[in-house]
Structure 1
Amino acid sequence: MGEDLPGGAGARAARPRPGGTWGSALTTAEFAAIRAAGFEPVGQVIGAAVYAAGSASWSSCPGAWGPAGPGAGAQGSLGPLVQAMYQARQAAIERMAAQCAALGGHGVVGVRLARGTFTLGGLEFTAIGTAVRAPGAARGRRAPFTCDLSGQDFAKLIMAGWVPAGLALGIAMGSRHDDRATTRQARRWSGNAEVAGWTALVGQCRHEARNKLAGDVRRLGGEGVVIAAMQLRVRERDCPVAVGRRDHIVEATLVGTAIAAFARTGQPPAGAGAGAGAGTGTAPALAVMSLGPRSRQTARGPAD
C-alpha cells in the first residue's frame, strides 16, 4: 500500500522547490511550538487514493442481529466494504508519509483525513499534513511517523517524553433489519422511549471500532492512543427481502495517534528544544502566545 502514485506523481509533488522554500498547513502558533520542541517544517505533503468501495453484498436481509449476529455486521456482508475503506485510508496515509521521506522529514503533524465522492464513481480518500524534521538527527530505517496532533499538542507530547508512533484507525460497520419490536418502539405515538434494537446496533459498532483501533495501535508499536475524531454515520435502505420494511446501516470510525514513551523522566531528548532551558534541568518553555484582543492590549501596555 506504500507505493508511489502512478507515473511518479508522488515524487514530483514531494520534490523540494528551488531556493529551499517550504509550505505548510501550520498556524503561526503551531510553527512556534514545533520550533520550540526542536523540529522544523520541511513542506506540506498529501496522499490520495480512489476506491470503488461498493463491493459489499446488498442482496440479502441482514436480519435483526446487528454487527455480532449471524450474517450481519463487519464480518458479514459488509466485511469487504470495511476492508476496502481501511485499505484506502492506509494507502493515502502511506503515500503522504512517502512524500515526507522524499523531503527528508522525520514525520508528519496535523494530519487531516477526508473522504469524498469521486466524480467518476467510487470514494476518494485523502490525507494531508505538514512534514517536519529534527535538524541534526539521523534518519532511521523506519518510515516517518504520522499524527493528527496540532503543532502545540505535538510539542507538548515531545516535551513530556512521548513520541507519535503513527495514525491509528478503527472502522466497523453493522446492519440491522427493523423487526416488529423495533418498528413498534420507533412509532411516532410511542412517546420518548428507547429503541433497543438501534441502541444495540450503535453500541456494538462502536465496540468493534474500538477493538480495531486497539489492534492498529499494537501494529504500530504504540503503548496507547489519543483519539482525535469519533464519527458515526447512519443510513437506511429498503429491505431487499421484506417489502415495506427498512434496514439500518451504521458505520463507526475512530481516528487517533498511537504514542510511545521514549524518556521515562519526562525530559525531551538531546537536541529537542535546544537553547531555552538547556542545562537547567527543566524543559524549555513553548514559544506560544495568544494574539487575541486582550493579549495584544496587555502586550502594548497601558494606553498613553
Structure 2
Amino acid sequence: MSVMPHPRADAALACLAGHGGDRHQGRSFSSDLSVDEAVLLKEIGYEPRGLVVGSAVYHIGIQYANWTTNQEMGDLTRAMYQARQEALTSMERHAEQVGGQGVVGLKLEVQVHSGGHPLAEFVAMGTAVANPDQKARGIWVSDLSGQDLYLLIRAGYQPIGLAFGACVYHVAHQGLGQWMGQQTQNVELGNYTSALYEARELAMTRMQDEARRARAQGIVAMRIEQKSHMWGSHVIEFLAIGTSVRLVAAQHQMMSPELVVTLDDEVAPITDAPAAPAAGSEG
C-alpha cells in the first residue's frame, strides 16, 4: 500500500534539508525553530538561514544612591541599554553574513559572572530568515515565534524591529523605627509601590518611544521583566520589550479558521459500568 505524503510534510522536509530549488541546493542551516515553526515560515515564503548569536561582556560600574530615596540609577540604566544594543548589533551583523533579512525567536539574556568584578554577559540569539522574493531593506529583529510571525504576516502586517526600554531603579529603605512598627501589621509598603510603579512606567515609555521613532503602528507580544541581577533586593531593573509592527497591506486581512481534529491523543480506557442493584435490594 502506498502512502501519499502530506503537503506540509513535503514542505518541512524541503525546509529542513535546506533545498528551496536550484539556487539553494547544497546549503544547510542550523536553527532553534521547531518543525511547526519551520513549516509555517516556509508557507509565507521565509527560509531559515542559520542560528545567529551576538554577545557583549560589560563591566557594570558602581553608582551610589541615597539610602532613603526612590530614584533611577541613570548610569546603570544606560549601561544595561548600551550592552544589550551591542549584543543586538553583533547578532544583526551575523544575520547579514548568512544572508538573512530578519531574525525570529529572539532570546535576549543577561548572565552575571561571579568574581571580583561586576561583569555581565549580554547574549542575543535567534534564527536568521530570508524571503528570496523580497528585496532586503535592512535586518529586522523580532522576538515572535514562527507561529506568531506567520499569523502576523498573513494578517497583512510586517515586523519593523525590536523595541525595548530599560530602567534601573533604587527602592528606598525604611527607617528602623518604621520597619519595627510594621512587623506585626498588614500594611502597604508605600516606598516599594511608588518605586515599582515609576520604574515600570519609565521602561514602558522608553519602549514606546523606540517604536515611534521606527514609525511603527504598534507593539505586539510586549512583556516586562523585573530582575535585580547583581545589585541586591533594593536595586531593580525593569525591562519592557516587544516587537514593533506596521500594517503593509491595504487593510487588515481576515483569516478563516480551519477545523482540525487531532488523531494522536491518548484514548481513555473503557471501564465496565457497575452492575445495577437487584430489584428490592437495599443500598
Please report the TM-score for the alignment, with normalisation by the length of structure 1. 0.71
Identity of aligned residues (%): 29
Pick aligned residue for 1:254 from 208, 233, 240: 240
Cα pair distance change 1:180/1:62, threshold 3 Å: closer
Query: Unpaired segments of 5 or more residues in structure 2?
Result: 1-24, 267-283
Q: Secondary structure at the match of 2:144?
A: coil
The Cα shift of 1:47 comes to: 0.5
The Cα shift of 1:285 comes to: 8.1
Pick aligned residue for 1:148 from 143, 147, 151: 143
Query: Unpaired segments of 5 or more residues in structure 1?
Result: 1-17, 67-71, 239-246, 268-281, 299-304
Match of 1:37 in 2: 44
Write the distance in 2 (CA, Å) between the matches of 1:237 and 1:252: 13
Q: What is the 5 A alignment of 1:291-302?
A: 295-296=263-264
Does residue 123 of the first structure (1) align with residue 120 of the second (2)? yes
> For this pair of structures, how many residues does the alignment match?
241
Q: What is the 5 A alignment of 1:190-229?
A: 190=185, 192-229=186-223
Write the distance in 2 (CA, Å) between the matches of 1:131 and 1:187: 53
The Cα shift of 1:139 comes to: 2.0
Q: Secondary structure at the match of 1:22?
A: coil
Q: Secondary structure at the match of 1:189?
A: coil
Greater gyration radius: 2
Q: Secondary structure at the match of 1:263?
A: coil
Q: Cα deviation per residue 1:84-123 (whole Å; 9 max; x = unaligned)?
A: 1101111111111111111111100000111002366410
Contact kept in structure 2, 1:201 and 1:250, CA below 8 Å: no
Match of 1:93 in 2: 88
Write the distance in 2 (CA, Å) between the matches of 1:118 and 1:26: 28
Q: 1 or 2 for the larger relative contact order (CA 8 Å, sep ≥6)?
A: 1
Q: Cα deviation per residue 1:27-81 (whole Å; 9 max; x = unaligned)?
A: 011111111112111111111011101x2422x52533x2xxxxx31xxxx2111
Q: Which amino acid aligns with 2:245?
A: I
Q: Which amino acid aligns with 2:244?
A: A
Contact kept in structure 1, 2:68 and 2:172, CA below 8 Å: yes
Please report the TM-score for the alignment, with normalisation by the length of structure 2. 0.76
Match of 2:103 in 1: 108
Q: Which amino acid aligns with 1:174?
A: Y
Contact kept in structure 1, 2:67 and 2:173, CA below 8 Å: no
Pick aligned residue for 1:63 from 60, 68, 77: 68
The Cα shift of 1:187 comes to: 3.1
The Cα shift of 1:180 comes to: 3.7
Write the distance in 1 (CA, Å) between the matches of 2:100 and 2:180: 55
Match of 1:183 in 2: 178
Q: Secondary structure at the match of 1:188?
A: coil
